[in-house]
Chains A and B, each alone.
Chain A
Amino acid sequence: MEASVATPPPTGGRSPRMGPPKSGKDAVEGSAAWRLSDRIGLAICWALGLLFCAIAIAIVIYLMVQGLQYLKLSMLFTPATAGFSQSQSGGFSDALLGTLIVAVMGISIALPAGVGIAVWLVEYGRPAGLARITESTIEAIAGIPSIVLALFGTVIFSSTALGFLSRTSEGVVFGRSFFAASAMLSVVALPLVVASTREGLNAIPRHVREASYAVGKTKIATTRRILLPAARPQVATGAMLGLGRIIGDTAIIVVLLGATQNFAPVENSAFPFNYLRGAGTTLTNFVYEASPTGNLNQPQKAYAAAFVLLLLVLGLNAAVDVVHRRARKAGTWSS
């Protein structure tokens, strides 16, 4: 759908696709005259399309029913506590806060880095060899399983040089903290930000840049003042896709956040840093631990937390839609 940004609208009343033209439905060839095998194929299309919708609706409805049944408002504000039954063991406020912390920290690394890389690739891109290497690096990073990133993170953040980012006792660096998890999660979000920003920059026609150079602006000034503002919808889309990936990732959290049930602040640091250096939990980790295969086995809590998580994801999806619609309303470049 993004690819259509730069293409001029079709001339005349008919769409260039075979799909139904905007005016007059009867212009489309019906399937009645087709061979039986073709009609069966079309039926499979419909069946699978409806199946996709049914799966999505089933997931939302089922989680909504289960979530609303078990979710109490108090759960959002009370931390998890040890208890014998599901009614005694508190809520998941720490997990919710942890998700927000990780999301903010992760995207605040991934967004500037991703935009920078995209700008370099589109506007500079010299030497060409480095550009090609960078492109394939980004593709490779997009394909790396997050569990591998997590293991790599344990190596980096357990090194003594980075001991100030996590709990340290007697020279041994624990290497599990919000800093460690956010840094690795930002790597997960990076390719999405880069891809989306690149798409936005590429859609800006050449003459816009030339007009800016003609009045004496440098390349970087043009980028900052004209190109990035023009590509803002795509940058925002990339950031939100990245956020969605960060919020939904579990493997990195399980490995690099220490998999505790509550915040575990470090003693010898000032306020925000004692929490950020300590271990913690997020919603995804909470759902994982509270599921029957996890250590807690509290399915009701898991449903409640999963419902909150789903709401966050749905909210991000809706935001992406709004940005898209606004960008389309604002119009495209005429070339």
Chain B
Amino acid sequence: MEEEYLPEYGPKWSDQRAERLLGALVCAVVGLLLAMIITVFARAWPSFAHNGLAWFGAGGSVEEQLNQIYLSGLSGADYVYTFHGWQLIWSTFLITGGAVVIALFCSLFVSVFIVEFAPEWMRNILQPVVRFLASVPSVIYGLLGVLVIVPFIGNHLVTESQKASVAGVISLSGYSLLAAVLILTVMIAPLMVSIFSDGLRSVRPGWLEGSLALGVNRWRTTWKIAVRTARPAIVAGTVLAVARAIGEAVMLAMVSGSVAFAPNPADGLIFIYEPSRPLAPTIVKNIDSLGSPPANATLFAIAAVLLLSAAFFSLAGWVARRSMRKYGATA
């Protein structure tokens, strides 16, 4: 094409025009994100305004409140906005926290194994396995949870006496914190492993060789030098995994039990068998009530909380990962 040789007169793909076009595209994407944040918060505002900080507090059953909110929107007269989301927030906290702690432990060992200790053949198996686990759709994890893990917990792990002891409050059928945490762990661990091993790989070989030359064995060298140097990558991976876990909706809607209930660790070990419902699945389960204005505001308020926390965690992860650069790493 001749215009490439005549950039000044090129009508179609001149440099300035291309730069402006791409710049406009970039601005559009930035604008989209801003529009999304503004829209979500504008829609959520009535719910936050009516409840104030009590939105995050405890009080009453969330289930009943959501129902009241929905019904008040249909009658049209005066909208009810009263909503105390503590049960949902606590459930999100327990499930995310549990899964991230377990996944952090497992992923750290697995990524050290992949980078330093696994024999060649094992590495060639593990890397595709990690990639595969990361790419399985969440609905498949949910299906396996509902049809395999949940019945197993309900029939074999929970005893009859445990079921009887809480019979008046909640039924223990296997839809539980335990199932949710286990499956969520499998879902977020691959993400952590891939970021951790990128970090471990980018540690300068000279530092490790220095330690080895001093007679420190390979295991100690890895943990004292490589893992410590890769700390930003470990923080980044963990934080990104938290963001992913907070936003997980469909799988948790399937296995967490979908009962607004706050399991109390003070009750003893039984709390891991109790059902609950985190924030994100609440939106999925109540999606049909979007037509009712106050319910719409409440669901957008939940979305606003999710958006804010997930965006915060993923930006924190990005910042942590950038700080790896000062070691000359590219991760």
Is A102 part of the contact surface with B, judged by Cβ < 8 Å?
A: no
Cross-chain contact B129 with A52 (CB below 8 angstroms): yes
A218 to B133, alpha carbons, bound, how many Å? 43
Contacts of B128 in A (CB 8 A): 317, 321
Contacts of A218 in B (CB 8 A): 4, 7, 10, 14-15
Is A314 part of the contact surface with B, judged by Cβ < 8 Å?
A: yes
Inter-chain contact count A-B, CB under 8 Å?
Answer: 269
Cross-chain contact B143 with A155 (CB below 8 angstroms): no
Is B43 part of the contact surface with A, judged by Cβ < 8 Å?
A: yes
SS class, residues of chain B in contact with chain A: helix
Is A91 part of the contact surface with B, judged by Cβ < 8 Å?
A: no
Is A250 part of the contact surface with B, judged by Cβ < 8 Å?
A: yes
Cross-chain contact B116 with A309 (CB below 8 angstroms): no
- Chain B: number of interface residues, binned into ranges: 35 or more
Cross-chain contact A247 with B137 (CB below 8 angstroms): yes
Is B147 part of the contact surface with A, judged by Cβ < 8 Å?
A: yes
Instruction: Assess A19 versus B26: contact at CB under 8 Å? Given A55-B186, A148-B40.
Output: no
- Interface 9-mer from B51-59, B65-73, B200-208: B200-208
Which A residues form the contact surface with B (CB < 8 A)?
Answer: 1, 3-4, 16-20, 29, 31, 33-34, 38, 41-42, 44-46, 48-49, 51-53, 55-56, 59, 62-63, 113, 116-117, 119-121, 124, 130, 133-149, 151-152, 154-155, 187, 190, 216-221, 224-225, 244, 247-251, 254-255, 284, 287-288, 291-293, 299, 302-303, 306, 309-310, 313-314, 316-317, 320-321
Is B139 part of the contact surface with A, judged by Cβ < 8 Å?
A: yes
Q: How far is the CB of B61 from chain A (nearest CB, A)?
A: 21
Cross-chain contact A151 with B303 (CB below 8 angstroms): yes
Which B residues form the contact surface with A (CB < 8 A)?
Answer: 4-5, 7, 10, 13-15, 18-19, 21-23, 25-27, 29-30, 32-33, 36, 39-40, 43, 106, 109-110, 112-120, 122, 125-133, 135-140, 142-144, 146-148, 186, 189, 198, 201-202, 205, 208-209, 212, 217-223, 240, 243-244, 246-250, 253-254, 258, 280, 283-284, 287, 290, 299-300, 303, 306-307, 310-311, 313-315, 317-318, 330-331
Contacts of B23 in A (CB 8 A): 120, 124, 130
Q: Which residue of A lies closest to B300 (CB)?
A: A151
Instruction: Assess A155 versus B135: contact at CB under 8 Å? Given A41-B219, A139-B318.
Output: no
Cross-chain contact A248 with B201 (CB below 8 angstroms): no
Cross-chain contact A313 with B26 (CB below 8 angstroms): no
Q: How far is the CB of B175 from chain A (nearest CB, A)?
A: 9
A145 to B306, alpha carbons, bound, how many Å? 7
Cross-chain contact B254 with A291 (CB below 8 angstroms): yes
Cross-chain contact B18 with A45 (CB below 8 angstroms): no
Report 25 cross-chain contacts, Cβ distance below 8 Å, ordered by A residue: A1-B127, A45-B109, A62-B148, A113-B29, A120-B25, A140-B314, A140-B315, A143-B243, A143-B244, A144-B36, A145-B247, A147-B280, A147-B284, A155-B43, A217-B4, A221-B13, A248-B135, A250-B138, A254-B287, A287-B139, A288-B139, A292-B147, A293-B258, A309-B139, A316-B135
- Excluding A62-B148, A136-B318, A250-B250, 18 further A-B contacts by CB distance (< 8 Å) are A3-B201, A18-B212, A63-B140, A134-B30, A140-B33, A143-B310, A143-B315, A145-B280, A147-B249, A147-B306, A151-B300, A152-B39, A155-B43, A216-B5, A218-B4, A248-B139, A250-B137, A291-B142
Pick the residue among A51, A52, A113, A313 that contacts B25 (CB under 8 A). A113
Cross-chain contact A220 with B250 (CB below 8 angstroms): no
Q: How far is the CB of A1 from chain B (nearest CB, A)?
A: 8
Contacts of A146 in B (CB 8 A): 247, 249
Contacts of B131 in A (CB 8 A): 317, 320
Instruction: Assess A293 versus B146: contact at CB under 8 Å? Given A145-B310, A147-B247, A309-B137.
Output: yes
Cross-chain contact B283 with A147 (CB below 8 angstroms): yes
Q: Which residue of B lies closest to A251 (CB)?
A: B249
A42 to B103, alpha carbons, bound, how many Å? 18
